Every structure is written in structure tokens, then in C-alpha cells.
Chain A
Amino acid sequence: MKQFLTALSLALFTTVGCAQDNPPFIETPETLSYSYEIVAEGIDIPWGLAFITPEDFLVTEKSGTLYRVVKGIKTAVEGLPPVYSRGQGGLLDIALHPEFNKNSVIYMTLSADVEEDGLGGNTALYSAKLVDTRLEDLKLLYKATPNTKKGQHWGSRIVFDQEGHLFFSIGDRGNRDENPQDINRDGGKIYRLTLDGSIPQDNPHVGIDGAKTAVYSYGHRNPQALVMHPETGVLWETEHGPRGGDEINIIQKGKNYGWPTITYGINYSGTPITDKKQMEGMEQPFYYWVPSIGPSGMAFSTSGVYPDWKGNLFAGSLAFQYLERLVIENNKVVKREKVLDQIGRVRNVVQGPDGFLYVGVEGKGILKIIPNS
């Protein structure tokens, strides 16, 4: 009887979760339909991942090394700009120009102190030409100001749409009271530029005196995943909230996502930030995670390589050390499941050009998920 009760309570615990958790509750599958292999190893914090071909890709290591990995052999790329490695900052995302095959151009976001605007650093976007394992023609396209010695919330991810725009994210830089709600200040924003770094004339704040005209949306805390939805072509984002406030957002031009005026989270210490979860003129998240999973990296599986996972969303969990699979039906998250449970802190997930999912795991490197045949 006792055993039965234990089993029953375990079953209840694992399926129902805690009372305040936000449904659907995370599930752990009983049998696994996949295995994995390591395609690049010995990378402490693999932040960004960009594929040239399935066997030739670029990986950023947060402390400041860019690797080119060819058939499993990794070589450090030379010619990087100086990286200001402090707190959560360092060398962040990397992305290939949509016409990389013609022009060899790459984009990177990183923490920089290049401008003479005070001690510390802020997030910067660079472009460069990749020549074998060397960067040439380095250009600083955007640098957030002012510098600060705060260690938190640099973002950052880079993504493109089909209309010649580049989007990238910067977190609130540990200054939630001043940055995210003020369009005249950097930080807590998603930015949109053209591919050469200039400001698109139809950006929402163009023509407004004093506004940061690169801003596309605001009111963000620390966005560490951006991806274009494969069917709608709309920008999806995840961001680290405070305790219990991690979010998935669907990003629309000019909209305010509410941080820190509204949030589902509380301070790490348990004290409240605000009593407001919604407000007129501020967007609600598509989904919010309670408890916080620490979301970093996001990808839709569209290839059919994993038949049961087609159309699902995948998000890395730094806090609980798994990759999360989210099933979305009728514009709602209806199921959440652990993939690669206990694998380590998952920093990034990308669908490769071969349709496989590749996962950046701290201390391990880049893992390729292989479906059971």
C-alpha cells in the first residue's frame, strides 16, 4: 500500500506539477525516440552557431573565441574585434549573411567597450568577411550606449527576414528602471537594420526626435532567442524574465512588451517587482514559463527528419539542463516535453541545413540529435 501511495504521489507530482506552475506541465517521455552525437567538442559556452554546410560551421565561445569547425576539427578564427568579457557578456551570436555563398559576410554580436562613453561595455553588432579562418573588412554596425560595468543582460541573437532586414537583441543591461521603456535609450530592445547596417526608413521610431531609430520593439528584459516562424514569417523571441517570468513573445513592429511595468515574475529574492501582469498598450507573452527554465536559443523543426516533432518549437533550458520541445496547436502551447534530459546547460538550438537539430551544451560542445530508425 505504501509503495502504491508513493508511486501515486510521484505520478501526481510529475504530471500535475506544483500548484503555481504554468500549464502545460513539463513531461519526461518514458522511451526516447532519438540519440545524439557530439559534432564539436571542448567548447565551454557555445553561444552562437551558424552553418555554412552541415559539416562546416561557426561556433562562438562566450569568453571570446570564434571557431570554424570543419568535419569535427575546430580552428580558432583570427581577426576578431576586442571582446569585453564581463558577467553574462562576451562573444555572443553569429549569423551568416543571407547571400553568404556569394559575399562571405558574417554578422556577430558581442560585448564591447570600443566607444569612449564611460567605463564598462555594451552590446555591439559587427559584420566581417570570413576568409578561411580569418576575418577581414571588420565593420562596427551598431554599438549600444552608454557603457556600464553591470554584468547582466546583454542579449543577444541575430536573425533575418526575407525582405533584407537584420534583427538583433540587446537586454536591459541591468538597468530595468531606465532602459527598457525608454525608446531614447538602448537596452531592452529588439533592433532592425538593413543588411549594410543602415536604418530602414519604415522603422517605427524614425522621425521621432531623440529616439533610437534602430529600435523595432521594446520593453524586453533579456532576449536570448530570435527565430523567424517558418510558416508565418513572423519574428518569435524568448527572453529571460525575473523568477517565474521567462517568456515567449511574438514580436511586432513598434510594440511594447511591458518589462518591467508588467511581468509574471518576481525578484530573485522573492519580493514583487510590480502587481501588474497586463496593461493597455503592452503586449502579453505568447507563453510564460513558471518555473523559469532559463531559455536560450530557439528553433522550429520543419524538416521532417523527426516525424513526430514536425512543426514543434524547441527551446534550450539553462536552468534545468534539457532541451524543451513545445507542441503548439491553435496558437497555444499544448504540450511540453524534455529532450536530452540532464544533458547540461543548453545554450542554443539550431536546425541545420540538413534538417537535423543541433544543440549547444555548456562544457560539451555541439550535439546533433539523431532519430531512431
Chain B
Amino acid sequence: MKLFLLLYGLSVGAFAAFMFPEKTKTESIEAGAEIYQDFCVQCHLPTGVGVSGVFPPLKDSDFLRNNIDMSIAGLKYGLKGKIVVNDEEYNGIMASQGLDNEEIADVMNYILNSWGNSYTGQITTEQVELISETILPTE
């Protein structure tokens, strides 16, 4: 019986992995690089430094490091209002870019592992899926 359950569990897991394959971290970062070039680069710039006081930096950003879930929510739903990044205040609007959950995971993995940023884990599609709008700051 135990063996059956184990096999059952394994096969369900394998089926799920087959149906919803998660990229490896390297694949995800690679896909994220393309999303970044299409959707992010105009404001946050190719080196992730942003524009002081206007578009917050993604490179070496304390806000991003300390608020990964909120950053994901910002990508999903848009982010507006006052935030403080590396002791500088930003009060702009980032509109939702209309990316799907997988694209958000990919671009997060790219950002979290570029320009000297490093993140030991991997943002997964499922993790993005579970994040709701409620964690965003309310005005």
C-alpha cells in the first residue's frame, strides 16, 4: 500500500511536471532577459540603474531585496505611490505590463541575477500565481 501511494504520488508529480514544466533557473533567466528588453529596459535601463528620483534602480536595490513578493505583485497588478529605494523616494506609477505568471517569474529571475544582483532561490510560476494584490500598499 505504501509503495502504491509512493508510486501514485510520483506519477501525479511527474504528470504535473509534464503538463506544467518549470524551467531550470538558467532557462528562466534567459527567457527573462528577453522580457526585460521588451518591457522594462526603457525605464530601468539596460544596466538596471534606473533614473534617480524617477525610475527606481533594480541593480543593488534594497527595496527589491527586501520586498520580493511585493515586487512580484507590482509586476502582476501595477505599482504606484511612494516607495523608498536606497534612501531615495520614488512616487511614480508602474502600470501592469500584462505579462503572464511565467513571464513574471522569468523576468524576476533575470533581474535578481543580473548586474551583480544574486538570488539563491528561483522564482517559480506557481509562486507568482499565489501572490495577490492585497500585499500592495494601499493609498
A44 touches B98 (CB 8 A): no
Q: Does A84 contact B (CB under 8 A)?
A: yes
Q: Does B95 contact A (CB under 8 A)?
A: yes
- Find chain B residues with CB under 8 A from A174 CB: 38
A85 touches B42 (CB 8 A): no
Which residue of chain A lies nearest to B41 when distances are taken between CB atoms in the complex? A268
Q: A268-B46, A321-B54 are in contact. Are A151 and B39 (CB under 8 A)?
A: yes
Min C-beta distance of B78 to chain A, whole Å? 8
- Find chain B residues with CB under 8 A from A152 CB: 38, 42
Neighbour of A87 across the interface among B51, B80, B93, B98, CB < 8 A = B98
Distance, CA A84 to CA B92, complexed state (A)? 23
Instruction: Mark B28-59 against chain A: 1 for CB-CB distance below 8 A, else 0.
Output: 00000000001101100110000100100000
Q: Interface size bucket, A side?
A: 20 to 34
Distance, CA A268 to CA B99, complexed state (A)? 22
- Find chain B residues with CB under 8 A from A298 CB: none
Q: Does B11 contact A (CB under 8 A)?
A: no
The A contact surface, by secondary structure, is loop
- Find chain A residues with CB under 8 A from B39 CB: 87, 151
Q: Does B97 contact A (CB under 8 A)?
A: yes
Instruction: Mark A45-73 against chain B: 1 for CB-CB distance below 8 A, else 0.
Output: 10000000000000000110000000000
Q: Does A304 contact B (CB under 8 A)?
A: no
A86 touches B97 (CB 8 A): yes
A87 touches B38 (CB 8 A): yes
- Find chain B residues with CB under 8 A from A62 CB: 95
Q: Could you say which of B39, B80, B91 has the most chain A C-beta atoms within 10 Å of its C-beta?
A: B39
- Find chain B residues with CB under 8 A from A87 CB: 38-39, 97-98
Q: Does B118 contact A (CB under 8 A)?
A: no
Q: A268-B45, A268-B46 are in contact. Are A44 and B38 (CB under 8 A)?
A: no
Distance, CA A363 to CA B79, complexed state (A)? 11
A268 touches B92 (CB 8 A): no
B93-107, CB < 8 A from A? 93, 95-99
Instruction: Mark A315-337 against chain B: 1 for CB-CB distance below 8 A, else 0.
Output: 00001010000000000000000
Distance, CA A345 to CA B53, complexed state (A)? 12
Neighbour of A44 across the interface among B51, B80, B99, CB < 8 A = B80
A85 touches B98 (CB 8 A): yes
- Find chain A residues with CB under 8 A from B92 CB: 344-345, 362-363
Q: Could you say which of A63, A151, A269, A344 has the most chain B C-beta atoms within 10 Å of its C-beta?
A: A151
- Find chain B residues with CB under 8 A from A165 CB: none
Q: A85-B98, A87-B97 are in contact. Are A269 and B38 (CB under 8 A)?
A: no
Q: Does A338 contact B (CB under 8 A)?
A: no
Distance, CA A361 to CA B95, complexed state (A)? 14
Distance, CA A319 to CA B55, complexed state (A)? 10
- Find chain A residues with CB under 8 A from B91 CB: 363
A121-174, CB < 8 A from B? 150-152, 174
- Find chain B residues with CB under 8 A from A63 CB: 78, 95-96
- Find chain B residues with CB under 8 A from A84 CB: 98
- Find chain A residues with CB under 8 A from B97 CB: 86-87, 151
B42 touches A268 (CB 8 A): yes
A271-303, CB < 8 A from B? none
A363 touches B54 (CB 8 A): no
Min C-beta distance of B104 to chain A, whole Å? 13
Distance, CA A195 to CA B80, complexed state (A)? 38
Min C-beta distance of A132 to chain B, whole Å? 28
Which residues of A are interface residues toward B (Cβ below 8 A)? 44-45, 62-63, 84-87, 89-90, 150-152, 174, 268-270, 319, 321, 344-345, 362-363
Could you give 12 example pairs across A and B, Cβ below 8 Å? A63-B95, A85-B98, A86-B97, A86-B99, A87-B39, A150-B38, A151-B38, A151-B97, A268-B42, A268-B45, A270-B46, A362-B92
Beyond the given A87-B38, A268-B45, A363-B80, please list 5 additional residue pairs across the A-B interface where CB-CB is below 8 A.
A268-B41, A319-B54, A321-B54, A363-B91, A363-B92
Across the A-B interface, give the 9 residue pairs with the lowest CB-CB distance, nearest first.
A86-B98, A269-B46, A151-B39, A85-B98, A151-B38, A363-B93, A87-B39, A44-B93, A268-B46
